[in-house]
Amino acid sequence: MKKVFLPVIVFILTLTVFASCTKQPMETKQGFFFDTVVSISLDKKDIDKAESTFALCGELEDIFSRTKEGSELYRLNNGEVSSLSPKLSEVLGFAMNVSEISDGAFDMTVAPLSDLWNVKERTVPPTEEEIRDALSGVGYKKISLSPLNIQNSTIDLGGIAKGYAADKIIESLKKDGVENAIVDLGGNVALIGEYSIGITDPFNPQNLYAKIKLKDKSAVTSGSYQRYFYYDGKRYHHIIDPRTGKCADSGLASVTVISESSMEADALSTAIFVLGKDGISILDKFPGTDALLITSDGDIITTDGFEDKYSLELLILN
Ligand code: AMP
Ligand code: MG
């Protein structure tokens, strides 16, 4: 397992999970993978099983990390891969599907723009010319997965890989006989069992906006409050609109998607954040998914029947 250095960066919770008091006491172990804190909470009797999930995270990082030298994605981006491993192929295939359905609002070739904006280190926005330059290298239509050809493009799976990892962790814990688990990869939450989930107030991230109940599902939030810098009173965040090359500015403050698949919830929350409130309609193409959107004005928009299905409780009243 990797050493955990906490908290050098302040990690903003996007989803908070409350273990039900009727359950046995749980214990939590943490690691640092995918540039985020990975928390695994299990029944006390199962806690030793967390170690193997961290080993799995390491293996997945060796596939999906864009920055780790020698990872499969790193080699793919450097033209050194001629055929994809099944795992990378699965994620790229799904990313392509979401790119097409969202008409490029989700775009895994966004790397030149995420590098340019680099909100973790930047303090001043890039120039229009720099944005135009980076934008010219972006576009999912320029690449092909079969036959494999990503020449002149760079793939960034930051909007989907944590979800895939959460799914794989859940799968391995289930195989290990675990019956209760909370897997949290920096706000990508996936569950075995039933829990209450708190959705962060995007305007005041130390508070909760709403609570929902979820069983054996994943919830993933994309929000403009997660990674950002301020310049001249304006917030510049990490979710980019590949059509403009700038931070998505579609009138939403946060998007939480619920699905049995965390990969699906992850990619779709990013896509809807870029598309804006009308983007919720793309969920029609993904059966079993639901969403809760918080607009920049503080209004809540949900898929039909959300309130009853997830026992929605609003904690902040406008
Ligand atoms: P998320 O926090 O899951 O919404 O994903 C944001 C991360 O995905 C960013 O840090 C980038 O690495 C990447 N990203 C940013 N904008 C997009 C986009 N429009 N489509 C796909 N990935 C994106
Ligand atoms: Mg995402």
pLDDT tens column, 242-284: 999 999 999 999 999 999 999 999 999 999 999 999 999 999 9
Residues 278 and 257 sit within 8 Å (Cβ to Cβ):
no
Contacts (Cβ under 8 Å, ≥6 apart) of 317: none
Nearest to 122 by CA among 34, 231, 9: 231
* The model's pTM: 0.94
- What are residue 33's DSSP bridge partners? 36
Q: Residue 246's pLDDT is what?
A: 97
Distances (CA, A) of 120 to 102, 203, 237, 266: 26, 20, 9, 20
Enumerate residues with CB within 5 Å of ligand 2 (an ion): 159, 266, 270
- Whole-angstrom distance, CA of residue 126 vs CA of residue 70: 29
Residue list, ligand 1 pocket, CB within 6 Å = 106-108, 110, 114, 156, 158-159, 222, 238-240, 242, 266, 269-270, 273-274
The three-class DSSP label of residue 200 is strand
pLDDT tens column, 182-238: 999 988 999 999 999 999 999 999 999 999 999 999 999 999 988 889 999 999 999
- Whole-angstrom distance, CA of residue 118 vs CA of residue 237: 9
Q: Residue 20's pLDDT is what?
A: 60
Q: Which helix (H) or strand (E) holds 64?
A: helix 50-64
Q: Residue 6's pLDDT is what?
A: 32
User: Who has greater pLDDT, 156 or 19?
Assistant: 156
Residues 183 and 265 sit within 8 Å (Cβ to Cβ):
no
